[in-house]
A and B are shown apart, each in its own frame.
Chain A
Amino acid sequence: MRRGVAAFLGVLALGAFGDVARAQGLPRLHVLAIDQYADQLTVAPHEQFHVTIRVVVAERRERLDELVLGDLDNCSIVGDERLHAPLPKGMEFTERLTLEADAPGTATITPAYLDAINPSVGRGLRYSAKQVIRVRVTAAAPIDATFRTFVALLRTLLLVGAAIVAALIVLVVFLLFAKRRVRSSAPAAVAAVEIPTARPPSREIQLADAVRRYRSSRNQEALLRLRGLLFECAGADHGATLADALRRLGAGDASLRFALSAAERAAFGPAGERERAGDELLSALEAYSGRLAAKPPV
């Protein structure tokens, strides 16, 4: 394609500049491409813009001084930067012009050109970029690039925000719908039923039962159970001694104090004394049980 463009450019320039080229000793170059373009088409007065001219030749050379820039109208050159880079077959030259618009209206840059002898045909030709660049120089300040970026960013943010809001709405609707479904499909709650538990017998009942057992059979097992209940009645814990129980009882029930002492003798006294201590215990318990029965129920 590049070869075609170059041949076309060569045909255009051949007739007009053939004699001049021969006369001036033009370089022999296979010009494969030449073009130019601007980075902005609308600028404000005194605003800078760039025009880039690109030339591709088949020959390997470091400089291309034969390139002639086009005419400038309503703008002026502020800077000029030249670069070249090797290609697999040839060299690419890039010249980047920094221009500044002068006044409102139109800034015009005519095509850059290059005069050279085409080795393939042996004649001098003018290779031109052809494009005339026209940049409009406006009176009003143009939209700043930063502002444009900001606007674009704002637009993006608005779009993203709108998408999130839409997603949330969809989610809320979905959850409400799902909840309604669960509620409608959940089985009816089972009413809590209080299971009646067996209430332990009162201490009076336990004591009466222990007395009955001890009265029927005066063995150590029945005595120890009875003694333990008497300790509980006095407020003493398991593992306490008679002194502990009496201390907890204080100046309390005299019949219980007497019963506790009798139980101690019946439990730890010598065998000959246990029978009598048992009798004293039972008589003391009768008095104590009578006091308990006389108490009004709480």
Chain B
Amino acid sequence: MNIANAASVRPRAVTVAIGATIIGQSEAVDALVLALIAGGHVLLEGAPGVAKTLACRALSAAIGGSFKRIQFTPDLLPSDIVGTRIFDQRSGDFATVRGPIFANIVLADEINRAPAKVQSALLEGMQEHRATIGLDTYDFPAPFAVLATMNPLDGDGTYALPLAQLDRFLAKVVVGYPSLAEETEIVARYGAHDVEFRSDVAGPDDVLAWQREARTVFLDDRVRDYIVALVRATRGARYVEHGASPRAALALAAMARARAYLEERRFVTPDDVRDLAPSVLRHRLAFDYRAAADAVDTQAIVGEIVASVPAP
């Protein structure tokens, strides 16, 4: 069931390339590739040292194009991200200097360490795929994807991302610790050698082709209704103060299409939706005080909500 397309390489090749560098973390790797196909951004949350940044670098290396990394700190300014205009003494005029956000893949490392003003500058670009410097507006290169990481363990010196900003991320992946076998292999492989990336497995044009073709994947009405039912089930669920927005339904449909495309199917199945629902919904829910008082696992709540909706 091959899909005739203009891309010279299949997206599975990128997954394989990242998997050659990253040992384990298959969910994070798949989410990065799916979000790239769906044209969205990914938020990776995990403890330090679980290969969040490495996975992002491996992805950018695999698809080629430009890659920029921004280390978010409390003293970061919006101009440090977007860019600014400086006076050129030789020409006697102001020149525009574009910031690191002008890249195909932008790694926003520890995004919750910057204040809301800086986060807003980034998130505006995530939504519009363009930025305004001075009086001029500049488009970002295509494809464009922000891969953000955040550390849940350090509470000091961090700024919580508002729900409206979290909603801009297509998916949030919780990166856990590797298994015993994976960790042993990590030490064996990288204990005495530098990490190597597989570069240019695909190109930016391939990614754009994937994005176009993924949007043509068939979504049956019953699967569409299943997506809507899942999103609506988050509203009014126990421990949930604010449920997911219609943007979540759009994101879930896009991710499901991307997965079908990655698996070289022309249609979305209920399994695509159900498997991706936690990563699409988990960061879009606001939990009430009872969740904190009862110390419930919010990930488990999302799982319960998904399980409560019967598949078609």
Contact = CB atoms under 8 A, between A and B. Distances in A.
Nearest to A242: B271
A268 B311 contact: no
Contacts of B218: 268-270
Interface string A261-273: 0001101111001
Contacts of A238: 310
B239 interface: no
Interface string A231-244: 00000001111110
B271 A265 contact: no
A270 B269 contact: no
B223 interface: yes
Interface residues of B, number: 16
B247 to A, nearest CB: 24
Contacts of A268: 218, 220, 222-223, 267-270, 312
Contacts of A241: 269-271, 274, 311
Nearest to A246: B271
* Most A Cβ at <10 Å: residue of B218, B222, B270, B312: B270
A274 to B, nearest CB: 10
B271 A243 contact: yes
Interface in B247-288: 266-271, 274-275
Nearest to A238: B310
A189 B27 CA distance: 70
B267 A269 contact: yes
A187 B27 CA distance: 75
Contacts of B270: 241-242, 268
* Most B Cβ at <10 Å: residue of A239, A241, A265, A268: A268
B222 A239 contact: no
Given A242-B269, A242-B270, A243-B271, A267 B311 contact: no
A243 B223 CA distance: 15
Interface in B56-103: none
Contacts of B267: 265, 268-270, 273
B200 to A, nearest CB: 33
Contacts of B220: 267-269
Interface in A239-298: 239-243, 264-265, 267-270, 273
Given A267-B220, A268-B220, A268-B222, A239 B269 contact: no
A267 B271 CA distance: 13
Nearest to B260: A268
Interface string B97-133: 0000000000000000000000000000000000000
B271 A239 contact: no
Contacts of B223: 268
A264 B266 CA distance: 12
Nearest to A269: B267
Contacts of A243: 271, 275
A94 B251 CA distance: 118
A41 B160 CA distance: 113
Contacts of A240: 311
Given A267-B220, A268-B222, A269-B218, A239 B311 contact: yes
A242 B271 CA distance: 7
A241 B310 CA distance: 9
A288 to B, nearest CB: 21
Contact of A273 (B266, B268, B312): B266
A59 to B, nearest CB: 99
Contacts of B311: 239-241
A37 B270 CA distance: 117
Contacts of B222: 267-268
Nearest to B270: A241
A135 B271 CA distance: 119
Nearest to B273: A241
A48 B267 CA distance: 123
Nearest to B218: A270
B266 A239 contact: no
Contacts of A242: 269-271
B271 A269 contact: no
Contacts of B269: 241-242, 264, 268
A264 B269 CA distance: 8
A265 B220 CA distance: 11
Contacts of A265: 267
Interface string B283-304: 0000000000000000000000
A264 B271 CA distance: 10
Interface string A59-88: 000000000000000000000000000000
A57 to B, nearest CB: 98
A242 B270 CA distance: 8
A240 B226 CA distance: 12
Interface of A: 238-243, 264-265, 267-270, 273
Interface of B: 218, 220, 222-223, 266-271, 274-275, 309-312
4 tightest A-B contacts by CB? A239-B310, A270-B218, A268-B220, A269-B267
29 contacts: A238-B310, A239-B311, A240-B311, A241-B269, A241-B270, A241-B271, A241-B274, A242-B269, A242-B270, A242-B271, A243-B271, A243-B275, A264-B269, A265-B267, A267-B222, A267-B312, A268-B218, A268-B220, A268-B223, A268-B268, A268-B269, A268-B270, A268-B312, A269-B218, A269-B220, A269-B267, A270-B266, A270-B267, A273-B267
Given A242-B270, A268-B222, 15 more contacts: A240-B311, A241-B269, A241-B271, A241-B274, A241-B311, A243-B275, A264-B269, A268-B220, A268-B223, A268-B268, A268-B270, A268-B312, A269-B220, A270-B266, A273-B267
